[in-house]
Amino acid sequence: MIANGVRAAASRSRLVLVSLSVVFVAILLSGCRNQKAEAQQKAELTVAVEQYRTQIGELQKQASLLRAQFDKLPEDLPGIGPVRDDLHALEEGLGVEDGRTKWLSAKLDDAFASGNKAEIEAVRNAIPRGDDTTAQAIVKIVHQLSPLERLAAQRRFFESLDAARDRKLRNEQPRKTR
């Protein structure tokens, strides 16, 4: 009878050990799946932030080209003030968005390092999703610059005609004789 009790206790011990082993393996595997899903989620969010950074970089290049066009215009052209204001607002907005991309990258790394799901979700929600208002602002400024460039070209043309006329008049003036 004692032998049967020892065998039963031993078999229960083995059963408990096997059960604990199965539970332990299941926990490890679920942890691996969670790590895999987390790594995939981080990769997706990193790509989204990088795409946004690239988009902002392209818009900044376009804005710098507009700035170069604008700087060639005379400052006293009629109607240049609103274009200047729009260009300044565009450049300022792009600067803020560039800072946001850097902030998002840091927040993304911090959120995944902490493993806090709420922080990760907050970063996900903070990534801008295809708003074309900046691109529309660039198009607006391009359309505002065109008439100003034509006006500046007309002014240069008439100034060159005036200069040529003045040179001709200076050459035709009778010289005083003594």
Lowest mean pLDDT: which of 75-84, 91-100, 107-116? 107-116
Instruction: Give the Cα separation of 161 and 99 in Å (integer).
Output: 49
Report yes or no on 171 lying in a domain.
no
Report yes or no on 72 lying in a domain.
yes
Q: Scan for tokens 């927040």, then name that residue.
A: 107
- Assess whether pLDDT exceeds 80 at residue 99: yes
Report yes or no on 82 lying in a domain.
yes
Question: How confident is the model over 13-28, as a mean pLDDT?
Answer: 59
Report yes or no on 167 lying in a domain.
no
- What pLDDT is recorded for position 80? 94
Please give the residue that has the higher pLDDT: either 10 or 149.
149
Report yes or no on 134 lying in a domain.
yes
Cα atoms in the Cβ-side hemisphere of radius 13 Å centred on 70: 22
Report yes or no on 13 lying in a domain.
no
User: In the structure encoding, which two tokens stand for residue 115, read together?
Assistant: 């493993």
The number of domains in the chain is 1
- Assess whether pLDDT exceeds 90 at residue 124: no
- What pLDDT is recorded for position 145? 93
User: What share of the chain has pLDDT > 90, as a percent?
Assistant: 46
Report yes or no on 8 lying in a domain.
no
Report yes or no on 139 lying in a domain.
yes
Structural domain span for residue 88 = 43-157
